[in-house]
Structure 1
């Protein structure tokens, strides 16, 4: 049996070039998740500092940018965890459970879309780069109008792809409250998108 060809080993560039090469990309990434310019800048700075310390541990299995984004993701999760620790734990416990609806698993409510399941712009017939850009501009504007707690839950679960169990630990909420938060966020996003000309995806059977 022949050995599989090994992947080329990637190396890191000079850290002095990181800000110019990756700074804007990481900042946009952080701003989308944190919704605050100062917090986004701080997260990017912490990412670069952590990357400097972690340089000897870089295994070369991913690109430099992917590696930096992974570090940024951990910094953002740490931020949400810190905010949750400083918020009253009972704050989310009093959320009423609005209504019983079937869900497909991992908090995916039947008939609702998820960002990571391939059902975003493409599922609504959005094919051109301009259409996609317009969609995400509207999506970002809609998301910015929602309560921060709902955005945190949605960001961690749907965008950063943490498991429901991980999100519950980070935000210090029960699974039931997480379902309610995600449900509310999706419903409000869906309504906002529809009002702004982006129809919902078809119901699943």
Structure 2
């Protein structure tokens, strides 16, 4: 991060804005990079997060940790980036001629993999694959191959645990478009991960 300016503020005793960069910048930057494939934009978003937090300092009710509060602000800024990407892609067709048919892979009743197409085990020894840096690298590489809107939807759903309704509202998607995107993202990621991770 580029700046470590000391901030003079009338913050409550348990809030220390002058320590935010040292304590949280690396974590927030990693959080943003995992969701946005642009390190310069990720840096800008982290700086905007600190500035936004300073502007809202009086409203911080300390019902959560500073780190949690700052992460929530950053998350909203990332969602703004997703919305901008989504609005720029509205006129592009969601389906491509080369994309596999999701009906072939998923049960239309519940959206789960059909048994015969269920992904093979990734042979990851760690209980949480996302903690494995090598796997993270492969996953990021595979996600770069998704169209930006698909990557945004997949990230919001499977990394940020947002509800389908929140994603549809935030990205101005219909429910049917959302399901097509999420299914096709899974199919493409599955294929890419099986080629590059197993």
TM-score range, shorter chain: 0.7 to 0.9
Given that residues 126 and 132 in structure 1 are in contact (C-alpha distance below 8 angstroms), is that contact kept between their aligned partners in structure 2? no
- Which SS does the other structure have where 1:90 is aligned? coil
Given that residues 92 and 173 in structure 1 are in contact (C-alpha distance below 8 angstroms), is that contact kept between their aligned partners in structure 2? no
Q: CA deviation at 1:124?
A: 4.6
Q: CA deviation at 1:70?
A: 0.7
Match in the other structure for 1:62: 64
Describe the shift of the 1:63–1:104 C-alpha distance in structure 2 as closer, same or farther (beyond 3 A).
farther
CA distance in 2, matches of 1:164, 1:126: 31
Match in the other structure for 2:91: 90
Match in the other structure for 1:81: 83
Given that residues 154 and 182 in structure 2 are in contact (C-alpha distance below 8 angstroms), is that contact kept between their aligned partners in structure 1? yes
Given that residues 168 and 174 in structure 2 are in contact (C-alpha distance below 8 angstroms), is that contact kept between their aligned partners in structure 1? yes
Match in the other structure for 2:195: 195
Runs of at least 4 residues off by over 4 Å: 92-97, 122-125, 128-131
Match in the other structure for 2:8: none
1:40-55 paired onto structure 2 within 5 Å: 40-55=42-57
Render the CA deviation track for 1:75-95: whole Å, top value 9, x for unaligned.
11122223333x253324666
**What is the alpha-carbon root mean square deviation over aligned residues?**
3.0
TM-score scaled by length of structure 2: 0.75
Match in the other structure for 2:136: 136
CA distance in 1, matches of 2:77, 2:38: 14
TM-score scaled by length of structure 1: 0.73
Describe the shift of the 1:129–1:149 C-alpha distance in structure 2 as closer, same or farther (beyond 3 A).
closer
Render the CA deviation track for 1:111-165: whole Å, top value 9, x for unaligned.
59xxxxxxxxx98542279982222222122112222121011111211222112
5+ long unaligned stretches in structure 1:
1-9, 113-121, 199-205
CA distance in 1, matches of 2:182, 2:128: 28
Match in the other structure for 1:180: 180
Match in the other structure for 2:151: 151
CA distance in 2, matches of 1:193, 1:31: 20
Given that residues 107 and 114 in structure 2 are in contact (C-alpha distance below 8 angstroms), is that contact kept between their aligned partners in structure 1? no
Describe the shift of the 1:188–1:67 C-alpha distance in structure 2 as closer, same or farther (beyond 3 A).
same
Render the CA deviation track for 1:169-199: whole Å, top value 9, x for unaligned.
222222111111111111111112112234x
Match in the other structure for 1:127: 126
5+ long unaligned stretches in structure 2:
1-11, 116-120
